[in-house]
Amino acid sequence: MCNGRVGEIQQINQILDSGDKMIDFTKREQLLIIALIIIMLIGLSYLIYSKNNHPRLDIDAYKKDTTPIKEVFAGDGEQEREKEPVFVIVHVSGAVKQPGVYELKEGSRVIDAVNMAGGMVEDSDPDAINLAKKLVDEEKIYVPRKNETITEQYIAETVETDNRININTADQRELESLPGIGPVLAQRIIDYRTRNGPFQSSQDIMKVSGIGASKYEDIKDMIRVK
């Protein structure tokens, strides 16, 4: 009898001990959950704080304050100014349909002047004239007829024997062929005559920035204005 009661008491004690262990385990879980919740709350608070304190990029203001590039350079009058064309005036005569004085853009060729004069007549001799030659201001172009005797005056007026560079009509490449004239100075010469018109004398080239008396002495025998 006593032994039976003792066994029952031992069983009850075992149950109580196991209950305590269960209660201890549950508390650990609760503590773990509480710790996780605290960590999550801290992380959430940090995210909210960072979002509220991070500078916001105002796209509308950015668009409003942005100035187009073309407007920034609009004040550079020297760069934005359109170059005015330079013209040469020539006299076309001989075997053309409409002889006369014509104005053409600088850089035009003899063929352009002949076409402006109505073109050649049927008995003209196009092989007797250099149609590819660049025009020079105040030049006279004479188109001979077939079997026509060419006089010395005609040769003097229509055949260019002067190998000097015409600084009023020379392009970038031709100007750069002069000693001491590189791409920058060549462009300055072109810009100068575009703004101020043709050079009146070869000495006028010294009005171009970067070309002084010394450089002029080096090129004076290699340039002309007509």
* pLDDT value, residue 74: 41
Give the three-state DSSP class for 165.
strand
- Can you tell me the distance from the alpha carbon of 70 to that of 67, in angstroms, rounded to the nearest whole number? 8
Mean pLDDT over residues 81-106, rounded? 84
Residue 71 has pLDDT above 50, yes or no: no
**Helix, strand, coil tally for the chain in percent (to 5):** 55, 10, 35
Q: Of 173, 174, 178, 166, give the one whose Cα is nearest residue 224.
A: 166
Domain 87-161, what architecture? Roll (3.10)
98-112 pLDDT per residue, tens: 999 999 998 899 999
> Which contiguous run of DSSP H or E holds residue 173?
helix 172-176
Domain boundaries, the chain: 2-65, 87-161, 166-224
* pLDDT value, residue 22: 47
Domain 87-161 and domain 166-224 have a common topology = no
Q: Is 1.10.150.320 the CATH number for 166-224? A: yes
The structure's pTM equals 0.39
11-70 pLDDT per residue, tens: 555 655 555 554 455 777 777 888 888 888 888 877 777 766 655 545 455 445 544 444
Q: Look-up: residue for tokens 């190998």?
A: 163
Q: Which residues contact 97 (CB under 8 A, 6 or more apart)?
A: 117, 118, 119, 120, 121
